[in-house]
Structure 1
């Protein structure tokens, strides 16, 4: 998870909206991410096992979803009609998941839970780390409005294009890691 690195994507998706809408989107995205990461910390292995899904499949799906969002950012689609329903959807997808709580964060969480080996303090430290990371994420997104005042509308458009390019690269890397995982025989 990369709190400062999410700011350009957050601004590209919400930068032209009101401060109240951006604040609500930041809160919703972080809460969705916290919920998803917590869910996978508690029962991630059981969920993946029950569904017969491996980490490579999770990476591939997240990569494809991020690629769709990246293409929208690069082509400028979806930025002309900000509606309340879309604000909520932007906070949930792509911000909450797969950007904040993406395949990499979910996989890392599952691995760290495995390494805790039933020790209370290990679980407590992992829970504290999850909460602290999400607090830092919220602070970065919540106060991203300062950047808007500096870069203005043309800067937000530029940030959207850069964020789209970076998201496309992240998406391609996730798909490549997925393919590598399937070839290596990981499930």
Structure 2
């Protein structure tokens, strides 16, 4: 195994996917009324979806984008707009109602993708795969991807402990802060995509 490539891939994906930073957003999206079992299942589903998306793009990413005629900036813009929609729901309190339809699938969208398996993680994975020359390199990248997703699951799985301390009022406060941060992430994604479009046109 190429340990240097493993280290580079692991650190890059860890920074992009940010396991500790997912905890407050995970708590908000799953809702204060969720049980520990529901949160644990949501954590498992979110990580499984993210891993599936990352692995799919690692193996067939360039082929998929070329076949559909989609550029990376276009994918980035779509992810940014989706995150912005979720951020607006958090900021306006639209997701505070336990009956909101978004609760049923938040583990898949937007948590699994595009929050965890977003454009940044997808592009980084595709780059590391393209840099791989032999089986040892591919194994190193695969191990890095798996290690980061295990950490993601650990952080979200044990975030249920935090809910006991914060309670509903604390989650409400965090939801507003998470909405603001998520909106900033979304705007940055779109801004980077626009810049890439302009540079490509130039």
The residue that corresponds to 1:178 in the other structure is 193
**CA deviations over 1:2-32 (Å, ceiling 9, x no partner):** 0000111000111411111111100000000
The residue that corresponds to 2:83 in the other structure is 66
**Structure 2: unaligned runs, 5 residues or longer:** 1-16
Matched residue SS, 2:106: helix
The residue that corresponds to 1:111 in the other structure is 127
1:35 aligns with 2:52: yes
Task: Tell whether the 8 Å contact from 2:50 to 2:117 is kept in structure 1 after alignment.
Answer: yes
Q: CA deviation at 1:88?
A: 4.0
Matched residue SS, 2:29: helix
- Distance between the aligned counterparts of 2:98 and 2:40, measured in 1? 19
**CA deviations over 1:148-178 (Å, ceiling 9, x no partner):** 1111111101111111000000000000000
The residue that corresponds to 2:139 in the other structure is 124
Task: Tell whether the 8 Å contact from 1:25 to 1:87 is kept in structure 2 after alignment.
Answer: no
Tell me the matched-pair count: 184
Where do 1:97-108 residues align within 5 Å? Answer: 97-108=113-124
The residue that corresponds to 1:144 in the other structure is 159
**Structure 1: unaligned runs, 5 residues or longer:** none
Q: CA deviation at 1:87?
A: 4.2
Q: CA deviation at 1:78?
A: 2.6
Where do 1:15-94 residues align within 5 Å? Answer: 15-16=31-32, 17-82=34-99, 86-94=102-110
The residue that corresponds to 1:164 in the other structure is 179
Runs of 4+ in 1 over 2 A off after TM superposition: 85-88
Residues 1:129 and 1:88: Cα distance change in structure 2 (over 3 Å): farther
Residues 1:132 and 1:35: Cα distance change in structure 2 (over 3 Å): same
